[in-house]
Chains A and B, each alone.
Chain A
Amino acid sequence: MTEFNLIQIAIAILFLPLAGFAFVLFFGKKIKSAYLVEVGIITLTFVLTAVLLFNKLSWYVDKNIVSEFTWISYQNIAVFGNINIDLGFLLDNLSVIMIFTVALISMLVHFFSIAYMKGDIRYNRYFAYLGLFTFSMSGIVLTHNILMMYIFWELVGISSYLLIGFWYEKKSASDAGKKAFLVNRIGDIGMFSGIMLLFNTYHTFTFDKIFAQVANGTLPFNSELWLTITGLLLFCGAVGKSAQFPLHVWLPDAMEGPTPVSALIHAATMVAAGVFLVCRIFPILTGNALFIIAVIGALSAFIPATIALTQNDIKKVLAYSTVSQLGYMVMALGVGAYKFAFFHLITHAFFKACLFLGSGSVIHAMHHEQDITRMGGLKKKLPLTYATFLIASLALSGIPLTSGFLSKDGILQGTFAYASLTGYWIFPAVGFVVAMLTAFYMFRLIILTFHGEPKNKEKFDHAHESPFVMAMPLVVLSALSIFIWYTPNPFNPDAGLFLGKWIKAPTLSVPQNARYSFMKTDLNNTTNTELKNIPLPEGKEVIYSEAYTEAMHHAHYPAMFLSLFVALTGIVFAFVFYYWKKISSDKLAEDIKPFYKLSFNKWYFDEIYDATFVAFTMGFSRFLAWFDNTIVDGIVNGVATVTRTVSFITGRFDSIVVDGMVNLIAYLSGFIGLVLRRFQTGRVQTYLVLVIFSLVIILYLFKTF
């Protein structure tokens, strides 16, 4: 296949789901089985992505395939010079792997939904929205420029909005959709500001061109600080979309949407878009920016993990877990473990999608019961679900032989190496604590759901295993949670093609002195002079200095063992608390009530936001509306108090010119008029007196001239 063929395939991949969306949207009403078209299209899309993936990785593994056309063009204009706003595709390994993942999960979710959504009044509409989402997500992944990414970013936001609020009859659902969109918009404002900065500096949106110019030393406002700020502003978009602290509040609420949607959008793909964005812009992230990203990631990993400990809604637990895992990835990027961040993104996508679909299966079986304290013992009823769920949980907890073990271990290793080089041990510390917490809450979930005695007998009795279309995706996804797909050696992720050959950290464009010290390409260094002579892949400079590689190497085993240890500890604790019930969780909760409440109430983020930003905005807008009606209108219309004092005027005036509030001019006019008409008494002698009087005044005034 030629590159052109690949681009053609990519175009098809992008637009097929859109066509599906349009078809189902317009004909969904009339054709009952329109959804099948959409499912067919998405299957076809998946096939195409597979073809694309295979061809790209086989023949063009080190080549970035770019195709673009000019969307908007300006020649020779003042201030900017020539501007070509291009739209186009960038097919690199990152994007083809990502698009494959998206298409795969999307397809599986489509299948799952066929059964899960059966009987919904807007059945077809649901599939249309899924198509729209797939289209938007593909756009983010395939694009070669930041503007187009922003465009699809927003489209993804909209499809997410539509899907979260799919059951809009429920107020909580429509609320959640709105919240998701708005919170995302906050991040988007930052991202857009970043885009403005980029455009203002580089007059282009295309990643490659921007990177090239940064590498040439062109910086926003000629300052590294501003490059940092640009990076962070772009990262704001990721904060919103990937539900990072402090904008993570929308994701748990988004669980109001149908569960397959949660699996597709709010676990596997869309929320990973933020991470994908950071991967894309990685070359222009300065050391300072990365550090802040790491901090945000760490906070996002830690806080939701603590919250997940106490949640009782099965989807909420998974949602917080998702936030926490995304935090992991972001933290990994922040500490420079680029490869592992992306690796975790992919592995997490599969096992988290599996978990969500599994929970969907449970919920389906339990007739929309989501409270895990009211489940129990479902192992017998739903063996397949249980099995897949367990595999995915193990992966999430980072138990060997799973994909999660590989990627999470990589991340921990990265933080470890980073700490050893810079001394910020807090990152590995957070990483390990969160690993333990993850294992704990996942097994708490499993135990409460699948083990023990059923709490709700009636629903338990009616529970039944899911049909094939639902079970099949579970099996596929849990299979993908096994190490074998990624590396032949379950303890060494680098051994596989995935990390070994396909995914490489990109070349940094950031000026040397704005990088992490260990990322500098110190050409004066003797060890590096050798490096200089080595023909480098793609003819680019090496970004990781040896120190980092070294540190990674050293961190490998300690991190692995430690992570294994903490994961197991977590699992054990979960068993102690919930399976063997050696320690009463309730009693413990009582003992550390403040902490428990903090966790149970999600650190009061929603309350705080409601009380501050939301209340302020709403209050302010109400104030402004009042202000607008009363003061602004009033300044022109006449201040209300004046109105009252001269109400005897208004009484008449209202009926004459306008009712209600009248212009200040009107009042004044009215007043002047009223004064004037006092003179018009109807008595001719009065008039004459006035004439004589004014005559005298005129004479007095003019005598001086």
Chain B
Amino acid sequence: MIHIGLGHFLFISSILFSLGIFGIVTRKNAVMVLMGIELMLNASNINFIAFAKYGNFGLQGQIMALFVIVLAAAEAAIALAIVLNIYKTFSTVNVDEIDKLKD
């Protein structure tokens, strides 16, 4: 049986992080982009918890993760509200088309 070590967690978290970034830069839909951000945050969460567990660093990591989860929710709420507003004004949520402000 494979022993699940820190490396595995880190591996997963890096993949999640990269996927998050990938999603952010490739998806057209603003909501999908926001989901990418959530992925990134969760990648960090995995890190925190994994480090806390394997490093015997106490509870700080877990606490951090909890905070991040809460913040992620708040951020998602705000972001979705903004996307909603964008949909009202631009009639689209395609981030490519929202480029009126530029040089």
Which residues of A are interface residues toward B (Cβ below 8 A)?
677-678, 680-685, 688-689, 692
Q: In this complex, what residue of A is CB-closest to B100?
A: A682
- Taking CB atoms, residues of chain B closer than 8 Å to A689 are 25
A692–B95 touching, CB < 8 Å:
no
Q: In this complex, what residue of A is CB-closest to B33?
A: A685
Q: Kindly state the separation between the CA atoms of A678 and B103 in the bound complex, as whole angstroms.
A: 8
Q: Kindly state the separation between the CA atoms of A683 and B103 in the bound complex, as whole angstroms.
A: 11
Q: Kindly state the separation between the CA atoms of A155 and B33 in the bound complex, as whole angstroms.
A: 89
Q: Which one of B21, B26, B33, B102 contacts A681 once the chains associate, using CB atoms below 8 Å?
A: B102
- Taking CB atoms, residues of chain A closer than 8 Å to B100 are 682
Chain B, 76-100, contact with A by CB distance < 8 Å: what is the 0/1 string? 0000000000000000000110111
Chain B, 35-76, contact with A by CB distance < 8 Å: what is the 0/1 string? 000000000000000000000000000000000000000000
- Taking CB atoms, residues of chain A closer than 8 Å to B102 are 680-683
Q: Kindly state the separation between the CA atoms of A168 and B75 in the bound complex, as whole angstroms.
A: 90
- Taking CB atoms, residues of chain B closer than 8 Å to A683 are 95-96, 98-99, 102
With both chains docked as a complex, state the minimum distance between the C-beta of A679 and any C-beta of chain B, in angstroms: 8
Q: Which of B21, B24, B25 has the most CB of A within 10 A?
A: B25
- Taking CB atoms, residues of chain B closer than 8 Å to A692 are 21, 25
Q: Kindly state the separation between the CA atoms of A68 and B49 in the bound complex, as whole angstroms.
A: 106
> Does B101 belong to the interface (CB within 8 Å)?
yes
Which residues of B are interface residues toward A (Cβ below 8 A)?
21, 24-26, 33, 95-96, 98-103
- Taking CB atoms, residues of chain B closer than 8 Å to A678 are 103
With both chains docked as a complex, state the minimum distance between the C-beta of A699 and any C-beta of chain B, in angstroms: 14
- Taking CB atoms, residues of chain B closer than 8 Å to A680 are 102-103
With both chains docked as a complex, state the minimum distance between the C-beta of B26 and any C-beta of chain A, in angstroms: 8
With both chains docked as a complex, state the minimum distance between the C-beta of B24 and any C-beta of chain A, in angstroms: 6
With both chains docked as a complex, state the minimum distance between the C-beta of B7 and any C-beta of chain A, in angstroms: 21
With both chains docked as a complex, state the minimum distance between the C-beta of A122 and any C-beta of chain B, in angstroms: 69
Q: Kindly state the separation between the CA atoms of A361 and B79 in the bound complex, as whole angstroms.
A: 109
A682–B99 touching, CB < 8 Å:
yes
With both chains docked as a complex, state the minimum distance between the C-beta of A693 and any C-beta of chain B, in angstroms: 10
Apart from A678-B103, A681-B99, A683-B98, 7 more pairs, CB < 8 Å: A682-B102, A682-B103, A683-B95, A683-B96, A683-B102, A685-B24, A688-B24
- Taking CB atoms, residues of chain A closer than 8 Å to B26 are 685
A-B contact pairs, 9 of them (CB 8 A): A678-B103, A680-B102, A681-B102, A682-B101, A683-B98, A683-B99, A685-B24, A688-B21, A692-B25
Q: Which of B21, B96, B98, B103 has the most CB of A within 10 A?
A: B103
B25–A685 touching, CB < 8 Å:
yes
Q: Main secondary structure on chain A at its contact with chain B?
A: helix
Q: Kindly state the separation between the CA atoms of A684 and B26 in the bound complex, as whole angstroms.
A: 11
- Taking CB atoms, residues of chain B closer than 8 Å to A688 are 21, 24-25
Q: Kindly state the separation between the CA atoms of A107 and B17 in the bound complex, as whole angstroms.
A: 110
With both chains docked as a complex, state the minimum distance between the C-beta of B61 and any C-beta of chain A, in angstroms: 24
- Taking CB atoms, residues of chain B closer than 8 Å to A677 are 103
With both chains docked as a complex, state the minimum distance between the C-beta of A677 and any C-beta of chain B, in angstroms: 4
With both chains docked as a complex, state the minimum distance between the C-beta of A695 and any C-beta of chain B, in angstroms: 10
- Taking CB atoms, residues of chain A closer than 8 Å to B95 are 683-685
Q: Kindly state the separation between the CA atoms of A682 and B99 in the bound complex, as whole angstroms.
A: 4
Q: Kindly state the separation between the CA atoms of A677 and B103 in the bound complex, as whole angstroms.
A: 6
With both chains docked as a complex, state the minimum distance between the C-beta of B38 and any C-beta of chain A, in angstroms: 15
- Taking CB atoms, residues of chain A closer than 8 Å to B98 are 683-684
With both chains docked as a complex, state the minimum distance between the C-beta of B18 and any C-beta of chain A, in angstroms: 10
Q: Kindly state the separation between the CA atoms of A689 and B22 in the bound complex, as whole angstroms.
A: 9
Q: Kindly state the separation between the CA atoms of A677 and B99 in the bound complex, as whole angstroms.
A: 14
Q: In this complex, what residue of A is CB-closest to B36?
A: A688
Q: Kindly state the separation between the CA atoms of A96 and B82 in the bound complex, as whole angstroms.
A: 107
- Taking CB atoms, residues of chain A closer than 8 Å to B33 are 685
Q: In this complex, what residue of A is CB-closest to B26?
A: A685
Q: In this complex, what residue of B is CB-closest to A677?
A: B103
Q: Kindly state the separation between the CA atoms of A683 and B98 in the bound complex, as whole angstroms.
A: 7
- Taking CB atoms, residues of chain A closer than 8 Å to B103 are 677-678, 680, 682
With both chains docked as a complex, state the minimum distance between the C-beta of B69 and any C-beta of chain A, in angstroms: 23
Considering the complex of A and B, which 7 residue pairs feature the smallest CB-CB distances, nearest first?
Answer: A682-B102, A682-B99, A677-B103, A680-B103, A683-B99, A685-B25, A689-B25
Q: Kindly state the separation between the CA atoms of A148 and B92 in the bound complex, as whole angstroms.
A: 93
With both chains docked as a complex, state the minimum distance between the C-beta of B97 and any C-beta of chain A, in angstroms: 9
With both chains docked as a complex, state the minimum distance between the C-beta of B43 and any C-beta of chain A, in angstroms: 14
- Taking CB atoms, residues of chain A closer than 8 Å to B21 are 688, 692
Q: Kindly state the separation between the CA atoms of A680 and B26 in the bound complex, as whole angstroms.
A: 18
With both chains docked as a complex, state the minimum distance between the C-beta of B86 and any C-beta of chain A, in angstroms: 12
With both chains docked as a complex, state the minimum distance between the C-beta of B36 and any C-beta of chain A, in angstroms: 10
- Taking CB atoms, residues of chain B closer than 8 Å to A684 are 95, 98
With both chains docked as a complex, state the minimum distance between the C-beta of B59 and any C-beta of chain A, in angstroms: 31
With both chains docked as a complex, state the minimum distance between the C-beta of A423 and any C-beta of chain B, in angstroms: 90
Q: Kindly state the separation between the CA atoms of A685 and B33 in the bound complex, as whole angstroms.
A: 9
Q: Kindly state the separation between the CA atoms of A681 and B96 in the bound complex, as whole angstroms.
A: 10
- Taking CB atoms, residues of chain B closer than 8 Å to A685 are 24-26, 33, 95-96
With both chains docked as a complex, state the minimum distance between the C-beta of B92 and any C-beta of chain A, in angstroms: 13
Q: Kindly state the separation between the CA atoms of A390 and B95 in the bound complex, as whole angstroms.
A: 111
Q: Kindly state the separation between the CA atoms of A436 and B44 in the bound complex, as whole angstroms.
A: 118
Q: Kindly state the separation between the CA atoms of A692 and B20 in the bound complex, as whole angstroms.
A: 12
Q: Kindly state the separation between the CA atoms of A680 and B101 in the bound complex, as whole angstroms.
A: 9
With both chains docked as a complex, state the minimum distance between the C-beta of B16 and any C-beta of chain A, in angstroms: 15
Q: Which of B98, B100, B102 has the most CB of A within 10 A?
A: B102
- Taking CB atoms, residues of chain B closer than 8 Å to A681 are 99, 102
- Taking CB atoms, residues of chain A closer than 8 Å to B99 are 681-683
Q: Which of A677, A678, A688 has the most CB of B within 10 A?
A: A688
